[in-house]
Amino acid sequence: MADPASYRPQTGEIPTNPGVYRFRDPHGRVIYVGKAKSLRSRLNSYFANPAGLLPKTHAMVHTASSVEWTVVGSELESLQLEYTWIKEYKPRFNVVFRDDKTYPYLALTMSEKLPRVQVMRGDRRKGTRYFGPYTAGAIRETMDTLLRVFPVRSCSAGVLKRAQASGRPCLLGYIDKCSAPCVGRVTPEEHRALAEDFCAFMGGEAKRFITKLEKEMADAVGTLDYERAARLRDDISALRKVFERNAVVLADDTDADVFALHEDELEAAVQVFHVRGGRIRGQRGWVVEKVEDATTPDLVEHLLQQVYGDDGDSHGRLPREVLVPVEPSNAAELTEWLGGLRGAKVDVRVPQRGDKAALMSTVRENAEHALKLHKTRRAGDLTVRSQALQELQEALDLPVALLRIECFDVSHVQGTNVVASMVVVEDGLPKKSEYRKFSVTGAAAADDTAAMHDVLTRRFRHYLQDKSAQSEASALPGHQAALEAAAAAVLDTTTAAPRAKFAYPPNLVVVDGGKPQVNAAARALADLGIEDVYVVGLAKRLEEVWLPDSDFPVILPRTSQGLYLLQRIRDEAHRFAITFHRQKRGKAMTVSALDGVPGLGESKRKALLTHFGSVKGVKAATAAELTAAKGIGPSLANAIVAHFSGDDTAGDALPAVNMATGEIIET
């Protein structure tokens, strides 16, 4: 690795003007491109304290061997030059949005003498108009329907040449789904006019064509040309079918692209809905690996640069409105740049209320599902799981394979209703039957470290007890006979074999937190004399991996499958703990004067309230009277009387109240 000090430029050499800079590696390849309002301030931030940089930036400055810059006249020019260089050099350390799938587009090759309509994927071509994206099934149906009304050529160049040479059109020409310019049924000019009408319809002018055909149909009926009127009727029906395929979500004159994103510490998923004429015409998604120092406004800026800069025909695709979740960095310059691409004003803004904000919420929900699906697919791949476990074992320098990993998380609200969760992963997959929940009370609920120590102590104390019980059982005289009996009963598949709850120890314990939580967990294991279980912690902010009694964390590469595995386990433990905490908190919000009676469950409590009408009536009843209620025996009746004997206010207070809403539950 290079030492940043070896190629650091002198501060006085760096101008204070806006500009764009490039870091190069020893082979001369550009590995990072960035822009700055002040080049001197920005570049000095890389070299002032390289050890304090975030992991990916730290890797970048130590991979580079030189830096150069170009001064420009304005921030708009720096935005344009940065985009140009990123597209030219494809730097490995820049943010790159990757399509989460390959979407098909409906395309017309307007640059050809006889334009062709076709389904296209991949890179965009100059002189081709694109509409979509669509799902694979919908795009075929849309094209087939529209060729009835706009019979544009859809054949390949080879088929076109053969038809021209033979003087006979292809099958589509015979069934009137192609105007057959190859044999001169229409002139090239007339065929181009059909293609222009096709583009206009797909561009949002559907109502104009439908209205025109309705007028022609009425004229045909007026002249008694019923055959032509019937054909026009079928054409109108076809156009309406395409036009009504998408639901109206906004006003008819709304042309907008609605972006939303959902992100975690490592990645972000982006979704966009393309709205044309108030209808959702298409959907598209990306997944991006985040750069540590990139904020959400930075992500939005790079997203818009890539989406609209990549379009070969931005003038035809850029809508009037671009709705984003947060205002992008350099919003004024970005808006001006987009306006230049479109050839007209583009409004980039964040919707605050109304239908557009509601649609933004729907797009955000799609982004959330997309990120979950992306992570689930990665977790479900056997090869990737094996790679993750191996990378994690090597990075932590562990001598054993990570066959079983347990992760613990503590959840509470300001120290109340403290709970903890234990999730289990075996061979890289969650084993939900082994999940456990813990309630933390007393001194252990004082803080997170005390709670973590208590939970780990309880979990491994159970393990030691189970292990001791198994050892004692194996020493009994009848142990061999018991083993033989168990072997004989293998064919009994209807009876579950008994097994201790905490019989299996993990190879690795992961705790949600940094150095304090890791040390607390390690101390709990040491107090119990357990030495063959390893402990690490995963801190949320920078995804640092902490080892016990270590002053510095282990930094796993951002693209490491081992880090993804740790993150998924930590997130699952957090979800499980939060769910249990909410359940416990919800129960604590409902209180009743009858809750403390030993042996009085919910059904018997309801029977008492039904019989006596209220807690006050229950309190005033004698033991003999209480036995008249369904399910209440003499011993339970005496327990109820004893419970209320020292409580003079129970009957005057509200018997059961939901503390969150104030609703009376029992009267």
Global pTM? Answer: 0.44
What confidence category does residue 348 fall into, taking pLDDT thresholds of 50, 70 and 90? very high
CATH number for the region 589-666 comes to 1.10.150.20
- Give me the mean pLDDT over the 482-510 stretch: 55
Residue type at 61? V
Say which CATH architecture domain 4-94 belongs to: 3-Layer(aba) Sandwich (3.40)
Q: Which class would CATH give 382-470+503-587?
A: alpha beta
Within 13 Å of residue 600, how many CA atoms lie on the same side as its CB?
28
Instruction: Give the residue with greater pLDDT, 596 vs 553.
Output: 553
Each residue's pLDDT tens digit, 39-75: 889 898 888 877 777 767 887 888 888 898 888 877 7
- Taking only the tens place, the pLDDT of each residue in 622-659 is 888 888 888 888 888 888 888 777 544 433 333 443 43
With contact defined as beta carbons under 8 Å apart, do 542 and 292 qualify?
yes
Tokens 């990072």 identify what position?
32
- Predicted pLDDT at 485: 47
pLDDT digits (tens, 9 = 90+) for 228-258: 788 788 877 777 766 655 545 677 678 889 9
Tell me the average pLDDT across 94-108. 66
The confidence band for 111, taking pLDDT boundaries of 50, 70 and 90, is confident
Q: Pick 53 or 437 by higher pLDDT.
A: 437
Q: Angle, nearest 10°, between helix axes 136-149 and 188-202?
A: 130
CA atoms within 13 A on the CB side of 344: 8
Neighbours of 544 (CB within 10 A): 17
CA distances from 68 to 19, 43, 50, 58 (A): 11, 10, 18, 18
At 197, the amino acid letter reads D
Neighbours of 335 (CB within 10 A): 19
Where does residue 146 rank: exposed (0-12), middle (13-18), buried (19+ CB within 10 A)?
buried
Fold equal for 256-376 and 382-470+503-587: yes
Q: Which two tokens stand for residue 340?
A: 């230049």
Q: What is the structure's pLDDT at 587?
A: 66
What are the φ and ψ backbone dihedral angles of 99, each rounded to 5 degrees?
-60, 135
For the chain, the structural domain boundaries read 4-94, 105-243, 256-376, 382-470+503-587, 589-666
Q: How confident is the model at residue 461 (pLDDT cuts 50, 70, 90)?
A: confident
When pLDDT is averaged across residues 209-220 and rounded to a whole number, the result is 83
| Strand ranges for 110-146 from DSSP E | 117-120, 128-131
Of 109-118, 443-452, 454-463, which gets the smallest average pLDDT?
A: 443-452
The reported pLDDT for the residue numbered 322 is 92
- Which residue, 423, 420, 430, 402, is CA-closest to 520? 420
Q: Which of 102-111, 291-300, 306-315, 517-526 has the lowest mean pLDDT?
A: 306-315
Query: Minimum mean pLDDT among 159-163, 180-184, 485-489, 537-541: which range?
Result: 485-489
List, for residues 298-342, the tens digit of each pLDDT value: 888 888 888 887 654 444 478 889 999 999 888 888 888 888 888
Grade residue 483 by pLDDT with cuts at 50, 70 and 90. very low
Residue 474 pLDDT class (50, 70, 90 cuts): low
Name the helix (H) or strand (E) containing 407. Answer: strand 404-413
Instruction: Fold for 256-376, please state it.
Output: Nucleotidyltransferase; domain 5 (3.30.420)
The chain-wide mean pLDDT, for the chain, equals 78
Average confidence (pLDDT) over 339-356: 88
pLDDT of residue 494: 39
Q: Would you state the pLDDT for residue 134? A: 62
